[in-house]
Amino acid sequence: MSPFLLTRTLPVDATDAALRADVLAGLTRRPKTLPPKWFYDARGSELFEEITRLPEYYPTRAEREILVAHAADIAAASGARTLIELGSGSSEKTRHLLDAFGALHSYVPVDVSESALTGAAEALLAERPELNVHALIADFTGGLALPGTPGPRLVAFLGGTVGNLLPEERATFLRSVRSILSPGDALLLGTDLVKEEGTLVAAYDDAAGVTAAFNKNVLEVVNRELDADFDPAAFDHVARWDADAEWIEMRLRARSAFTVKIHELDLVVPFDEGEELRTEVSAKFRRERVREELGAAALRLDQWWTDTGGRFAVSLATAV
């Protein structure tokens, strides 16, 4: 069996420190915010997996359709010998690509969760014992130091997660990705596309209330990790389309006026009746916007694939 290497570039206490910093900064500003990365504890991850199976939530199915249909095209166009997946999680999407990469030497999954990386690697190696897997415990938004693996290299950032970054954050992220690529290496990027408002809102406000539970789970994370006393039932889930910014916002709206104590931060946070806490931005894209943002980071958009409904796109951009 090929080797499995696990490297930690994220300090052991980095997650706790980052949560403290994000909660302190986000809940002491107006409007209040929390970053969406804190949705994904064990329960949040379970809820998101449930979301991906809901009839209203099309992005996962649409992206899977593209990857299944065009894996061979992606492999041929990139010529990659190393596949690097940012935010790899269970590496489920990777399975659609690996069989198409006949000459693939190494797979480098990158995630903040050691358990997710280890579990995914064990499953992949059981299926593909010839594959070299070098997992990185890292926060890809903070810059990356990649292992020495053969090129060409393909960095995959799928799921539309790039839309969770604000425009200035996306610009920084894309420049960071370009900085680790050599000329001829490539980025495979999943982006949800602008479409009719009702379809977009329904995807983030499903009839069964699963997304509402997912949204409120961030409060449970803060309660558990920072000894806070949020009552999730005191908030309503809100999903709103901002036509000017072309993004969906998820928010939690206070049903009445109250205060929340966050004991680990020695912080008291007041909420007014109707006040909203923004928990996620999910930008939607048009092809030209993707081309422009990639170009600003010295990445050339070479290939563009969509699902049959034109709802989602996967693009291939080459480092120039």
Residue 114 lies in a domain: yes
Provide the domain limits for residue 306: 1-228+286-320
| 66 three-state secondary structure | helix
For residue 205, is it within any domain?
Answer: yes
Is residue 155 included in any domain, yes or no? yes
Q: How many CB atoms lie within 10 A of CB 42?
A: 9
Taking the C-alpha atoms of residue 149 and residue 5, their distance in angstroms, rounded to an integer, is 12
* Angle ∠(263,264,268) on CA atoms, nearest 5: 40
Q: What is the per-residue pLDDT across 31-54, written as a single tens digit (0 to 9) for each?
A: 999 999 899 888 888 899 999 999
Q: Is residue 120 part of a domain?
A: yes
Q: Does the pTM exceed 0.85?
A: yes
- Please report the pLDDT score of residue 1 as a whole number: 45
Task: Look at residues 191, 194, 307 and name the one whose alpha carbon lies nearest to residue 247.
Answer: 194
pLDDT band at 224 (very low <50, low <70, confident <90, very high): very high
Residues 6+ positions from 75 with CB-CB distance below 8 Å: 97, 100, 101, 102
| pLDDT the model gives residue 207 | 97
In a domain, 244, yes or no: no
Do 235 and 255 meet the contact criterion of CB atoms below 8 Å apart? yes
Could you tell me if 158 and 63 are in contact, meaning their C-beta atoms sit under 8 angstroms apart?
Answer: yes
pLDDT tens for residues 114-128?
777 788 888 888 888
Q: Is residue 162 part of a domain?
A: yes
DSSP 102: T
Has residue 135 been placed in a domain? yes
Q: Per-residue pLDDT tens for 273-315?
A: 999 999 999 999 999 999 999 999 999 999 999 999 999 999 9
**CATH number, domain containing residue 294:** 3.40.50.150
Map residue 238 onto helix, strand or coil.
strand
How many angstroms separate the CA atoms of 235 and 72, rounded?
46
Q: Give the total number of structural domains in the chain.
A: 1
Amino acid at 64: R
CA 64-215-308 angle, 5° bins:
20
Q: Residue 14 pLDDT more than 90? A: no
Residue type, 129: P
The reply to whether 238 falls in a domain is no
